[in-house]
Amino acid sequence: MILTVTLNTALDITYRVPALRPGASHRVTEVTERPGGKGVNVARVLAALGHEVTVTGFTGGLTGRLLREGLTAVPGLTDALLPVSGTTRRTVAVVDERSGTTTQLNEPGPAVSPAEWQAFQEVYEDLLKGVSAVALCGSLPPGVPVGAYAGLVRTARAAKVPVLLDTSGSPLRRGIAGRPDILKPNAEELAELTGSHEPLTATQDARRRGAGAVVASLGPDGLLAVTPEGRWRAAPPARLRGNPTGAGDSLVAGLLSGLVEHLPWPDRLARAVALSAATVLAPVAGEFDREAYEELLGRVVITGEVSAA
């Protein structure tokens, strides 16, 4: 069983318009609605890969009920979300069909009380007893301490459960002090954390700050991984045109599934890149194209070296 934590869950709404023009009225050609938040997206991909996965975090209000109803349709996924008095946020993605670009609008999320935060920590510690890995994903809702992820990482490590951290800003800077087994920043988050825009330098610096391994997502250039076993770059065979929404979450799912299946790092990275690329190519934002994934998996370009023993 894999556990994903999404403290700031969301109901993801995607609008498609022929062309997005600021200040203009638009006719929406298609609307999709689904449960979201980074850890929820990771869980959905893990379930599609055949893994049993539990989702926890906070949910509340009408959007929270709609989110939980959507989760019931996902085979292999267990809902362990905690109710809060506030209302789960919505995220709105507007896809410009002419350019292929996506504009994202993210609400802040519900305010979490100290009692609700304490209740979550108790549930989280209990859930760790039956899982093989945990992913801590996304932003923090109002009311949750900025150092929350550092504490959750330490709790997982004390339970001897490997933990992956995927967040940004202050929660990332504080969270890395908990020494996560895997840190998954994108290029912008990595530069903000370390002050360096050179990927290898920044990734090595992030590892020195406390992460066991750092896997940096470099967008269309694939990823860079610096681990105790070695360092590698992995990239799709060609640049892809599509919607990148959810590609980073599919990457995390690839890393986690490879971890619990005890795959060597190059195979984990190939899976992560193939899943991420197949998400860019999918017609529905945040889903992955299984046929594209299977076709891309053997074509991911891996370069790197194994560390000396």
CB 271 within 8 A of CB 297: yes
Say yes or no to pLDDT of 87 above 60.
Answer: yes
Strands of the 102-106 sheet, one edge to the other: 30-36, 10-17, 89-96, 102-106
Residue 285: predicted pLDDT: 62
Mean pLDDT on 250-255: 96
Residue 268, pLDDT > 80, answer yes
Lowest mean pLDDT among 57-71, 118-132, 223-237, 283-297: 283-297
Going by pLDDT thresholds of 50, 70 and 90, the confidence category of residue 242 is confident
Tell me the residue type at 107.
E
Give the largest Cα separation in the chain, rounded. 62
Cα gap 264→261, rounded to integer Å = 9
Annotated catalytic residue, options 181, 249, 267, 289: 249
Instruction: Give the pLDDT confidence score for residue 286 in this predicted structure.
Output: 67
Contacts of 186 (CB under 8 A, 6+ apart): 216, 217, 218, 219, 248
CA dist., res. 75 & res. 255, Å (int): 21
Q: Which secondary structure element, helix H or strand E, spans residue 105, and what is its range?
A: strand 102-106
pLDDT band at 309 (very low <50, low <70, confident <90, very high): very low
Residue with tokens 């590892």: 207
Vertex 163, ends 203 and 74: CA angle to 5°? 115
Higher pLDDT, 32 or 148: 148
**For residue 240, what pLDDT is reported?**
78
The residues that bridge with 33 in the sheet, in sequence order, are 13
Task: Note whether 33 and 69 are within 8 A (CB).
Answer: no
pLDDT, residue 281, reads: 84
Amino acid at 304: G
| Active-site residue, 249 included | yes
Q: How far apart are CA 166 and CA 263, in angstroms?
A: 21
pTM, to two decimals: 0.93
User: Where is average pLDDT lowest: 156-165, 219-228, 242-251, 291-300?
Assistant: 242-251
Question: Tens digit of pLDDT for each residue in 122-136?
Answer: 999 999 998 999 999
Q: Who has greater pLDDT, 142 or 104?
A: 142
Residues in the chain: 309
Strand ranges across the sheet with 182-183: 77-83, 53-59, 2-6, 133-137, 163-166, 182-183, 213-217, 223-227, 230-235, 301-306
Percentage, residues of the chain above pLDDT 90: 83
pLDDT, average across residues 41-64: 96
Distance CA 2, CA 132 (A): 6
What are residue 32's DSSP bridge partners?
14
- 42 burial via Cβ count (<10 Å: 0-12, 13-18, 19+): buried
Nearest to 275 by CA among 266, 287, 285, 265: 287
Dist. CA 139–CA 146, nearest whole Å: 10
> Does the structure show a pLDDT above 70 at 224?
yes
